[in-house]
Structures are given as C-alpha cells and as structure tokens.
Homo-oligomer: A and B are copies of this chain.
Amino acid sequence: MKAEEGITILKIGGSVITDKSSDDGSAKLDEIERIAAEISRFSGRLIIVHGAGSFGHPQAKRYALTEKFDAKGAIITHDSVKNLNRFVVNSLNKAGLNSVPVHPIGNTVCENGRIVRMFIEGIRIMLKNGFVPVLHGDVVMDTVLGISILSGDQIVPFLAMQLGAERIGIGSAKDGVLDNEGKTIETITSSNFRDIEKYIGASENTDVTGGMFGKVDELLKLCEISSITSYIFNASKNGNVLKFLNGENIGTAINNTGK
C-alpha cells in the first residue's frame, strides 16, 4: 500500500448481502464471504460502506422512523444493522483484511436527514495505518428531528468529498442503472438524467432510503462539485467487486463529462 495513493470507496448494497424480502435481519453469509474474499485481493486504501437491507429497512418502517421520533425503535434498528455490520467486518478480517467497524450513530450528525457533521479524523488515521473502515446505513442523531435514517448512499458521496476519493463503486444487485428495455445505461450525467429518470425506480420491497433513484441522485449531486466518476455495478455477480477495485469501469458510470 502506497501512502500517497488515492482512496477507493466501495458500497455494498443491502440487497446484495441480505434477503431484502425478509421481515427481520436475514443475512446472505455466503455472499458476504465471497465479496470479502474478492476485497481481500485489493491492497489499496479502501473504505467500505454497506447498506442495511433487512437489518434496517423493515425495523425503520415498523417504528415509522422516517415520520416520527421513536427512541426504542431507533435503538432496535441500530442494533439490527450493527449485527449485519458484525458479519461483514468478521468476514473481511477472516479474509485477511484489518477492517474496523465505524458506526454512524456515534460519529455523524444530520440536520433534517442530511449529514452536517461526520468525525472524519479517525477515518483518516485508519486509512493511513492500513485499516479498512467499514461504515453502514444507520440511525443517527439529527439536530432537528432528534434522530434520522442515514442511508449508506448518502455516506458514500459525503466521504468522497471530505477525503478526496479517487474511485467510487456502488455494488448493487442489478447490472447497473437499467433503461425501459432492461438494458444497462452506460453513462448518466446531469444532462441525460431528466430523460431517463422515469425508468429508475426505488428498490424493491422495503427500502426506506430511496432505492436506485436515491443512489443516482446522490452521485449526481457529487458530480456537481467534483470531477469524480462513480460506477453502479452488479456486486452479486462473481468477480465484479474485484474488477471494480482493480480499475475496470463496469456497470453504469455517473459523471459530469458524459464519457
């Protein structure tokens, strides 16, 4: 690992590592281990952010956390996604990485659901020392709402801006962003987004944080203020995570150049 090299941020969607149709925390342990093995073959500076899937969305819905403050519901939802995080971190460490769990409930504050502060300094030192910080969608403290639901899809571009990340990969359960014929759209920019946004739905089942539309929207916002290209690709396909980490441009690219 070179100290001066760029930072890669990899999101692993909740639909990839959990059964999202489940009412309560059902992890795809084989998939978590397969992805951990792919990641372990990458030696660059890396941050992992994972979604909550059935370890967060059903709980947040049950307690209507996007509508009202509920302390018990917040605690139960956080505890559930923390269990998923434990599976991910343990698998990564068994695969040979030095990954460290970083829970947004303790290091991030939102205002009306948008991140206003995150404790980045610890993450910088982790990266400098060869650790792989692993964050996740979580319940976080909110200056206005008391608590809010923070999607991993919002964490990724925020970290990318703060740390000047070089590559962003969003590993989803689809081949990328699909058009009306189910074909992967090659590139999305703010210019063509209006034409294709009608094809882009929310995730199936119980996603409380905006699904595919939310992902593209967050990444386009990032493009407005940086020149980074993000890739939305299929992390459920064997080998794709490593392909992305090794520099291949797979799935749908999201940038402000259209290339």
| Residues of A near any B CB (own CB < 8 A) | 69, 71-72, 74-75, 78, 82, 93, 98-103, 105-109, 117, 119, 121-122, 125-126, 128-131, 140-143, 146-147
Least CB separation from A103: chain B residue:
B106
- Whether B107 contacts A119 by the Cβ 8 Å rule is yes
Q: Which B residues touch A108, using CB under 8 A? A: 122
Contact of A101 among B99, B106, B117 (CB under 8 A): B106
Specify how many copies of this chain sit in the oligomer: 2
Least CB separation from A98: chain B residue:
B71
- Whether B107 contacts A106 by the Cβ 8 Å rule is yes
- Whether A109 contacts B121 by the Cβ 8 Å rule is yes
- Whether B122 contacts A143 by the Cβ 8 Å rule is no
Q: Which B residues touch A74, using CB under 8 A? A: 98
Contact of A71 among B78, B130, B142 (CB under 8 A): B130
Q: Which B residues touch A82, using CB under 8 A? A: 101
Contact of A117 among B105, B121, B143 (CB under 8 A): B121
Least CB separation from A108: chain B residue:
B122
- Whether B98 contacts A102 by the Cβ 8 Å rule is no
Cβ contacts A to B, 17 pairs, < 8 Å:
A71-B131, A75-B93, A75-B99, A75-B100, A78-B100, A101-B103, A102-B105, A106-B106, A106-B119, A107-B107, A107-B119, A107-B122, A108-B122, A122-B140, A122-B141, A125-B142, A128-B146
A166 to B108, CA, bound (A): 26
- Whether B100 contacts A122 by the Cβ 8 Å rule is no
Closest 5 A-B residue pairs measured CB to CB? Answer: A119-B119, A125-B141, A71-B98, A102-B106, A129-B146
Least CB separation from A70: chain B residue:
B98
Q: Which B residues touch A107, using CB under 8 A? A: 106-107, 119, 122
A131 to B105, CA, bound (A): 12
- Whether A106 contacts B122 by the Cβ 8 Å rule is yes
Since A69-B129, A75-B93 are in contact, a sample of 6 more A-B pairs with Cβ atoms closer than 8 Å, ordered by chain A residue number, is: A71-B129, A103-B106, A106-B107, A107-B119, A119-B119, A122-B140
A111 to B131, CA, bound (A): 18
Q: Which B residues touch A129, using CB under 8 A? A: 69, 71, 141, 146-147
- Whether A75 contacts B98 by the Cβ 8 Å rule is yes
Least CB separation from A139: chain B residue:
B100
Least CB separation from A125: chain B residue:
B141
